[in-house]
Structure 1
Amino acid sequence: MRMVFRWFGEGNDTVSLDQIRQIPGVEGIVWALHDIPAGEEWPMDKILEVRDQADRYGLHLDVVESVNVHEDIKLGLPSRDLYIQNYIRTIEKLAQVGVKVICYNFMPVFDWARTDLHKATEDGSTALFFEKAKIHGIDPMELVRDITANSALTMPGWEPERLAHLGSLFEAYKNVTEEDLWDNLEYFLSAVVPAAEKNGIRMAIHPDDPPWPIFGLPRIITGRDNIRRFLKLYDGPANSITLCSGSLGANPDNDIIRMIHEFHDRIPFTHIRNVRVFENGDFIETSHRTQDGTVDIAGIVKAYHDNGFTGYCRPDHGRHIWGEECRPGYGLYDRALGIMYLWGVWDSLERARTVSAQKEAVL
């Protein structure tokens, strides 16, 4: 398991590269050019700038999250071919600086949704919270105002250029079905994955967050059966998944450990985080500790260990603790604690394997 840490760039993150390199076992950053609108080709000079920044702190940039997919591609519009070609040229540039994995998603309009970015918890920390009933009864524009008003930093998936056209986007998706979205995804994969394969990069789609339709928008990467269908669209290692335990874990019916055992050779990148799901369908993000949430984090790490996982792992969202002011979900402290929890489980499994081997050798 290779530990990495998401970083949003100088001037756009409260966490510094110097702090990231001090977290035990972290070897690289998960990055993107967040100021480049979806669909545009990434400039090489900006890519090299991030590479040089990471190099100064001994961190690699093997994983990009995300090269965003333009809405015209998801909608299947004639203009999609232009944006796909831009995407392919970006892939070629990223290969030149050693990128191995590109995490992306195919969620219409919103990359993720929460109803409260700072929900107070029993211990005084705050965390991202999803109130299911509120989503069903809220105007999407009201949610946008709440989200953007509570963050001074740009929020991935909630970029201003995307939100400026929210009304027209909802109108464009009015008659788009799940099967339409599947068809448009297959069209995208048929063009992009061969280019990634040629350049030694694995495309790793992120599950929908939360893993069910919201605001009448279709969502298709939601559970085991759909992931199985997705992987068959282009049956090769360059077409892979970013398995996110928090996104999938918001639906208790998702057996994430079973997914890891089934799909482990198609998981080059994993997000590990915990959520507590309530009986009414609401959920709140918790510490990474298994006992604090609904998701069996220790069991998930064991499943990866059992399958000899050598891919990249990052602690996903964290709570806001110890008075830290940061991008919602992306502070330093709780994610660093999460890393140490994940390493603790992993190291204990490694130790148990070593002791078992030594005993067998004696016998």
Structure 2
Amino acid sequence: MKMVFRWYGNGNDSVSLDQIKHIPGVEGIVWALHDIPTGQEWPMEKIFEVKKQADEYGFHIEVVESVNIHEDIKLGLPTRDQYIENYKKTIEKLAKVGVKVICYNFMPVFDWIRTDLHKKLEDGSTALFYEKEKVEKMNPTELVDKISKNPDFTMPGWEPERLEHLSKLFEAYQNVTEEDLWHNLHYFLEQIIPVAERHDIKMAIHPDDPPWSVFGLPRIITNKENIKRLLSLVDHPYNGVTLCSGSLGANPENDVAEMVREFADRIPFAHIRNVKIYENGDFIETSHRTSDGSVDIYDIVRAYHENGFTGYVRPDHGRHIWGEECRPGYGLYDRALGIMYLWGIWDSLVRKEQEVVSC
């Protein structure tokens, strides 16, 4: 596996490239142009700027997360074709700097939802928390006030241009069903995958977070059967999935390791993190260690190893520990610990395999 680390850019991240360089085994950064409004074509000069910054520290920039999908595409509006053309042009530009994977999602309005960005865990650290009952009773605008108005960092997935028109977006989705969303995703993929293949960039959809309908909005990338359907919409190796153990793992019915074993050849990019699920449906993000949460991280890594996985992996959300002030979920310390836990599992599996061969 190829270890990478998400980085939000100079001036927009509490973690520096110099600090990331100290983490063993990290080869590249996972990046995006967060200041470009969704739907616009990415400027080549800004892409080159990120490459130059990464080159200085010996990092590749082969994974982009995310080139976001404009809501008009998800809604299937006539204006979608222009936004799809912009997406194609961005793919062409990203190929020029060696990008190999584009992570994206097809979640209406909100990319991810939590009710508390700094919920305290038993050990005194804090983490992202989802309170089911609160979401069910909450007005979406309350959530916007809680999450989007972070004084220090932008919050990808909660871009101002979307949130300014929140009421209009909810109105637009009022009669959009899951089948409508599937149809609009199919339309997008039919146009994008040939371009992605031509430029040798794999498209990797991120599961919905959490993997169920929220605020009455349709969500479709939620379980094994739906991932299978997604991959069959355009049955092509360049149509893949960013398998996120944390997003899918929030539903205890999802066996993420089983998904790895079934879809391994269509997973160019993996997010690995743990969550602890409570009986009432709440969940909180924990350390990556298997015993700290409800997701079997060991079996997930073992599944990747068994299938000879050579794709990209990043530690996903971490706790906030040791007094670190950072973007919620994206500090340095706990994600670095997560990487070492993942490497520990991987290295032990490699050693065990070597011992079996030598016997």
Normalised TM-score (structure 1):
0.98
Residue 161 of structure 1: how far off its partner (Å) = 1.2
Check if 1:157 corresponds to 2:127.
Answer: no
Task: Give the whole-Å Cα distance in 1 for the aligned partners of 2:220 and 2:81.
Answer: 22
Residue 37 of structure 1: how far off its partner (Å) = 0.6
2:29 maps to what in 1?
29
> Residue 69 of structure 2 aligns to which amino acid in structure 1?
V
Task: Give the whole-Å Cα distance in 2 for the aligned partners of 1:88 and 1:9.
Answer: 24
2:133 match: secondary structure? helix
Task: Give the whole-Å Cα distance in 2 for the aligned partners of 1:357 and 1:121.
Answer: 43
1:136 maps to what in 2?
136
2:167 match: secondary structure? helix
> Residue 40 of structure 1 aligns to which amino acid in structure 2?
Q
Q: What pairs with 1:78-117 in structure 2 (closer than 5 Å)?
A: 78-117=78-117
> Residue 27 of structure 2 aligns to which amino acid in structure 1?
E
Q: What per-residue deviation string (whole Å, max 9, x for no partner) do you get for residues 50-96 of structure 1?
A: 00000000000000000000000000000000000000000000000
> Residue 226 of structure 2 aligns to which amino acid in structure 1?
N
Task: Give the whole-Å Cα distance in 2 for the aligned partners of 1:150 and 1:19.
Answer: 23
1:326 maps to what in 2?
326
Q: What per-residue deviation string (whole Å, max 9, x for no partner) do you get for residues 247-300 of structure 1?
A: 000000001111111100000000000000000000000000000000000010
2:245 maps to what in 1?
245
Q: What pairs with 1:304-319 in structure 2 (closer than 5 Å)?
A: 304-319=304-319
Residue 21 of structure 1: how far off its partner (Å) = 1.1
- Equivalent pairs counted in the alignment come to 359
Q: What per-residue deviation string (whole Å, max 9, x for no partner) do you get for residues 163-199 of structure 1?
A: 1111100000000000000000000000011100110
Residue 159 of structure 1: how far off its partner (Å) = 1.1
Runs of 4+ deviating beyond 3 Å: none
> Residue 183 of structure 1 aligns to which amino acid in structure 2?
H
Residue 162 of structure 1: how far off its partner (Å) = 1.2
Q: What per-residue deviation string (whole Å, max 9, x for no partner) do you get for residues 20-66 of structure 1?
A: 11100000000000000110000000000000000000000000000
Residue 206 of structure 1: how far off its partner (Å) = 0.2
2:194 maps to what in 1?
194
1:208 match: secondary structure? coil
Check if 1:260 corresponds to 2:260.
Answer: yes
Change beyond 3 A, Cα 1:119–1:47 = same
Task: Give the whole-Å Cα distance in 2 for the aligned partners of 1:21 and 1:161.
Answer: 34
Q: What pairs with 1:49-60 in structure 2 (closer than 5 Å)?
A: 49-60=49-60
Check if 1:223 corresponds to 2:228.
Answer: no
Residue 151 of structure 1: how far off its partner (Å) = 4.8
Change beyond 3 A, Cα 1:44–1:31 = same
Check if 1:148 corresponds to 2:148.
Answer: yes
Check if 1:335 corresponds to 2:335.
Answer: yes
1:33 match: secondary structure? coil
2:276 match: secondary structure? strand
> Residue 228 of structure 1 aligns to which amino acid in structure 2?
K
> Residue 326 of structure 1 aligns to which amino acid in structure 2?
C
1:75 maps to what in 2?
75
Residue 148 of structure 1: how far off its partner (Å) = 2.3
> Residue 334 of structure 2 aligns to which amino acid in structure 1?
D
2:292 maps to what in 1?
292
Check if 1:347 corresponds to 2:347.
Answer: yes
* Structure 2: unaligned runs, 5 residues or longer: none
1:277 maps to what in 2?
277
> Residue 164 of structure 2 aligns to which amino acid in structure 1?
A
1:209 maps to what in 2?
209
Task: Give the whole-Å Cα distance in 1 for the aligned partners of 2:164 and 2:294.
Answer: 36
Residue 236 of structure 1: how far off its partner (Å) = 0.9
Change beyond 3 A, Cα 1:149–1:39 = closer
Task: Give the whole-Å Cα distance in 2 for the aligned partners of 1:152 and 1:193.
Answer: 37
> Residue 153 of structure 2 aligns to which amino acid in structure 1?
L
Q: What pairs with 1:162-173 in structure 2 (closer than 5 Å)?
A: 162-173=162-173
RMSD over equivalenced CA pairs, Å: 0.6
Contact 1:5 / 1:314 at 8 angstroms: preserved in 2?
A: yes
Identity %: 73
1:184 maps to what in 2?
184
> Residue 184 of structure 1 aligns to which amino acid in structure 2?
N
> Residue 207 of structure 1 aligns to which amino acid in structure 2?
P
* Structure 1: unaligned runs, 5 residues or longer: none
> Residue 275 of structure 1 aligns to which amino acid in structure 2?
V
